[in-house]
Copies of this chain bind each other. A is one copy, B any other.
Amino acid sequence: MKVCVDAMGGDHAPEWIMKGALQASFSGIPVILVGDEKKIKKEAKRLGGLPSNVEIAHASESIGMSESPTVAVRKKKDSSLRVGFKLIKDGKADAMVSAGNSGAIMAAAIMTLRRIPGIERPAIATLIPTFKGHMVILDIGANVDCRPDHLRQFAVVGTVFCRTVLHIPFPRVGILSNGEETSKGNSLTREAHQLLSNAFLNYIGYVEGRDIFSGNVDVVVCDGFVGNIALKLTEGLSRAIFGFMKNDLKKSFKAKIGYLFFRGTLRNLSQAFDYSEYGGAPLLGVDGVCLIAHGSSPPKAIKNAIYHAHELATQNLVGRMKKNILRLNGKPERVLKESEK
């Protein structure tokens, strides 16, 4: 299982990306660094050379963070993104990690890998810590304006992802809404609710923002506009809370002493909400494993994204999707037995 890493994508590329890739390769994961060979070799020299399980795949072009995704992907045929996805398409690599322009990653993935039959709109998913473990939320930014059937498709790919990663055989799926009662929701969620009520999924109805962390739902679906706002709010609020704590520490000597004893707890907590622990968000619904990392990902986040991508490829995420989509896309002919769940 080889993981392609876009050496040219990200705010600190190639340095941070390559540092993360080398760290992952040290634990035995074969990596292909995709990008300008000269630049990669120069950086590799600075970092003390490349281990034997790291290859380079040359790409003469790269796509900038502010370029228009579809235009850039179409025009730059030899971009690191297109070269990387081509390697997967040709069976020479098994997964892709990029911290580049996320619109361009999606466009290149869809153009090169193509969608899995039955899925119109690939979605970006992420794991969120809860009281009881983790849950999956999608879409967090790929599709800002959605139709009801898109939410149903997100539920299908989210269910397979949840099974694969969290090993929950029959994940509970909810639609993110402004209240649990079916009288709540907006015009999009009300129609999606009808579709999901008749789908071959463990659909439990509407869930609210606070339910995300409760551990009582495994897959939460929403349009990419709402999901992105929710994700950034989670990030912003957890940072704000740690910021408030630090401010308070400056003011009180007693709090400083407390901090010395309490810092283990605070460290556990900030780790739970630190995206770099997970590294990357998978693009679900394309015919290949693709992880999108934050543009500002530190080496640790890149390393973790590579681990995550390697695991998804090993677990045959895409194969499972294809196998399950027809069944999940269909209407239930009978109620599932407990043993089948």
Contact = CB atoms under 8 A, between A and B. Distances in A.
Contact of A259 (B131, B224, B245, B258): B258
Contact of A234 (B178, B184, B233): B233
Interface stretch (A39-47, A81-89, A108-116, A247-255): A247-255
A187 B144 CA distance: 8
Given A240-B131, A258-B259, A225 B178 contact: yes
A186 B230 contact: no
Interface string A252-275: 101101111111110011001100
Contacts of A239: 210, 213
Majority-rule SS of A interface residues: helix
26 contacts: A130-B240, A131-B240, A131-B244, A131-B247, A144-B178, A176-B229, A177-B229, A178-B228, A185-B225, A186-B223, A208-B229, A209-B231, A209-B234, A212-B233, A222-B229, A225-B226, A229-B229, A229-B230, A230-B233, A241-B273, A244-B269, A248-B265, A248-B268, A255-B261, A255-B265, A258-B262
Contacts of A222: 229
Interface of A: 130-131, 141, 144-145, 176-179, 184-187, 189, 208-214, 222-226, 228-241, 243-245, 247-249, 252, 254-255, 257-265, 268-269, 272-273
A229 B269 contact: no
Given A177-B229, A178-B225, A269-B248, A236 B210 contact: yes
Enumerate the 10 nearest inter-chain pairs by beta-carbon distance, A residue then B residue, closest first: A258-B261, A210-B236, A258-B262, A209-B233, A209-B232, A178-B228, A213-B240, A248-B265, A144-B186, A186-B225
A193 to B, nearest CB: 13
A260 B234 CA distance: 28
Given A213-B239, A237-B238, A252-B264, 5 more contacts: A131-B247, A255-B262, A255-B265, A258-B261, A258-B262
